[in-house]
Structure 1
Amino acid sequence: MSDITLLMFLILGHVACDFYFQPDSWVKKKNEHHHKSIELLLHSALHGIVAASIFYVLNSNSTVLNAMYVVVAVSVIHYATDLIKSYSQKWQLIYFLVDQLVHIGVLIAVWLVVTGQVESFKEQWTIDNLSHKHALYILAYIAIFKPASVLISMILKPWTRDLKPEDDTDTLKSAGQQIGYFERFLMLTFILLSQYSVIGFLLAAKSVFRFGDLTAAQDKKLTEYVMLGTLASVTVTISIGLFVIYTVGKVTIN
């Protein structure tokens, strides 16, 4: 079995333990009792045991001692990470994403150590191997969020004042901005992958959801505003994507 297959099964085990083998009651008690929660100990131990079992069964070079190291490393770090997250209820989405990145990062680190690929990893992932391509891809994704929102707001400003205050009383706070973030992220990704037909499907799906506004005469002003915002968002994203492709080429997936 290849090393990358082993890593995929480790991540699969993590997903199973974190989302399928963890009852909602455990999550609630972790958030209420923190370090006093028995459920937190059980959850962390389960992660360690599952990860060690996968290593021991699927890695032909593994030993009982290596499996013990995996149990301790994964369990302890998972416990510490989830404990910190249990105190951080205000920004749940951010801490959830960071929590998952830490868990997967630990699995990758343990995988590198046990499979003896640390030196190879260091050679491939060094500052010397970074290029303008990496910086440009990162810059493109950063630009489509807040900078693009500011630019689109400036474009729409002459028409924003024409909307009556009651025009947006039934909308969710900041929902439009978040929709724009997801929309531009998907469009940029499809552009870099040269999947332009999917972009057409995405825009068509959005038009279907706005069909009710298009047929309501009293919402004509709001509909035109939304359409203008969508076109501005699409224009900005396509411009950024085409610039990246022209500069460094499309993203290739092996």
Structure 2
Amino acid sequence: MVVLFLSLLLAHLLGDFLLQPTTWVNDKKKRKIRSKYLYYHIGVHLLLLLIATQFSFKYLLAVILIALSHFGIDCAKLYFEKKKTAKTWFFIDQLLHLMVITCIVYSYFPFEISIENLYSQQNLALITALLLVTYVSAIILKVLLSKWSEQIVKVDAGNTNNAGKYIGILERLFIFFFVVLNFWEGIGFLLAAKSIFRFGDLKESKDVRLTEYILIGTLLSFGFGILCAMFYKSFIV
């Protein structure tokens, strides 16, 4: 089961990301179903699927179904995707392809998903820790740093840029997994990298409050990441 799933997934990744030139993508967006590259793309997938299944007659129906579904999903994306929804449709497209592959594998190797296992102590602890280290800690940090941020950051009412928020979330996720994997050196590398990138801002600015804001924010963010990881590890020992 696992071998079949990985083989089909590898074929999909190769066909969609490695063996699909940008010229093909642009031509498909422009000419849609009339684009010859759409059919080249499906042909590449068909060949990769045959190779992945070792040209076995047993999986021939699966190969055909995946190729046809890929064509249908790609056509739907080409006609319904707009400039504003491009990112959303990218993930919908990939999720649908993954669901098709999963269903095909299930038809050959039925498997059961135990709901009880989903509610295990380790899984609940992991979900809780990930929520804490991402969005919960982001809100807590925003509250704790409000004293400095109100004085330093000039917020535009029409500004919806949350880049700083997501950078912080990624930073804490890295720290979380570094601690879980006992790769404490990674935290040092991450701190050094952040210091290098922030050095320019601190050098150009004469505002002591900005220095305090960055330093306190960094220490709190790293601290939350470590604490959440230790919280999770206490449930898996």
- The two structures have a TM-score, normalised by structure 2, of 0.83
- Tell me the alpha carbon deviations over residues 176-220 of structure 1, each in whole angstroms, 9 at most, x when there is no partner: 112112112211122222222212211111111112233335254
Gaps of 5+ in 1: 250-254
Q: Which amino acid aligns with 1:153?
A: K
Shift of 1:113: 3.6
Distance 1:148 1:37, change over 3 A: farther
Specify whether residues 240 and 164 from structure 1 end up closer, same or farther in structure 2 by C-alpha distance, changes over 3 A only.
Answer: closer
Of structures 1 and 2, the one scoring higher in RCO (CA 8 A, sep 6+) is: 2
1:1-254 alignment to 2 at 5 Å? Answer: 4-57=2-55, 62-63=56-57, 66-67=59-60, 69-86=61-78, 87-88=80-81, 89-114=83-108, 117-118=109-110, 121-122=111-112, 125-130=113-118, 131-163=120-152, 165=154, 173-249=161-237
Count of aligned positions: 232
Asked if the contact 1:52/1:70 (under 8 Å) is kept, the reply is no
Amino acid across the alignment from 2:130:
Y
1:228 Cα deviation after fit: 1.8
The superposition leaves residues 132-160 of structure 1 with CA deviations (integer Å, 9 ceiling, x where unpaired) of 32122123223333222211111111111
Counterpart-to-counterpart distance in 2, 1:79 and 1:223:
54
Contact 2:121 2:235 in 1 (8 A): no
- Distance (whole Å) between structure 1 residues aligned to residue 180 and residue 215 of structure 2: 24
DSSP 3-state at the match of 1:22: coil
Question: Identity of paired residues, percent?
Answer: 31
What amino acid maps onto 2:21 in structure 1? P
CA, structure 1 residues 136+96, in 2 after alignment: closer, same or farther (shift >3 Å)?
farther
**CA distance change for structure 1 residues 94 and 226 in 2, over 3 Å: closer, same or farther?**
farther
CA contact (8 A) 2:7 2:53 kept: no
Contact 1:30/1:39 (8 A) holds in 2: yes
Change (3 A) 1:6 1:66: closer
The AA in structure 2 aligned to 1:228 is I
Q: Is the 8 A contact 1:45 1:71 kept in 2?
A: no
